Structure 1
Amino acid sequence: MSHTEQAINLYRNLAQECDIAMALVDVLLEEQACLVKLETKRLGELALQKEGMMLELEKRYLNNIQIAQSLGYEPTLDGIAHWVDELATDERRLQSTYATLRETLQQAHRLNTANGELVAEQLAGLQERISILTAAAVAEQQPGTANTYGPTGSLNSLSGSGLTPRAVIR
């Protein structure tokens, strides 16, 4: 395969990866909106889409690594960058497409991290609410124990314990 054909093929492959990465960013943004709104039904579908896209991107990356290595480049991101730089003399769009792909993947990584933090925050809040309600149920069944909520709904036993209630309801 000629140098020019390699450049065109790599450009096409990276352009397809850009499309997948941009679609992944869209899924992650939708996932974030569902997390904020607590729309759990849609989250399962989005998780499957996200997983499929991430697996496809990983497969393509490993294929690029293998091709780059077979051409004498290091089997790393730096090796692919050198490969892109060399082929860019025959296909000028190659460098900008590769840069777009890297930036889009970084954005996807940031969104995925933020979504994970949202999930962790919501789980922590949910766990705290469950603990408070469990303590209230135990207190109701065992009247001699400390109450979480008093008869008027006010906090009784938590006030002197150093604990502060957390109400993260979205």
Structure 2
Amino acid sequence: MPYLAAAVVLIGLLCVLNLLLTVGLIRRLREQGAGRPGNAAPPTALGPGSRIGDFTTRTTDGEPVSHEDLVGLVGFFSAGCTPCHDLAPRFAAHAAGLPRREVLAVVTGEDPELVALLSPAARVVTEEFDGAVTSAFQNSWTPALYLIGAGRRVVATGGRLEDLPVESSA
């Protein structure tokens, strides 16, 4: 019986130690995350100065789009992404002030709501997560915004409209 009592006390002490270590780890992670803004820029593969890859696809309206005629604002959104749904109305409102041919929205997954919201102001492409446009941009994060200039070069990138230069026409 004394062995059983000792085992229970030992297990109890190990549980308390584990709890203290876990609380300390959570505090440290919170402190490290406190220095970063809540809407930090996404880890985009192509940074300013990078050249986008080749692609050819069609918009939801059947209009052809390729790397050769892409200049302006490009936004990547995905189905089921809450930040994407938060950004989409602001993106559409901003895009409404630009020529439609200079705005491309890429929606990954099935999301008719996003497509309907973005279609009036932008050319919209729907594709899977490894689609032609996503691959050309080497993009693995949503929402992600790119400003494309002459020569298929990325001028700016970010996860919010505020991350891009005020003037969105390249």
TM-score normalised over the length of structure 1: 0.30
| Structure with the greater alpha carbon radius of gyration | 1
**Bigger relative contact order, structure 1 or 2 (CA pairs below 8 A, ≥6 apart):** 2
TM-score normalised over the length of structure 2: 0.30
Structure with the bigger percentage of strand: 2
Structure with the bigger percentage of helix: 1
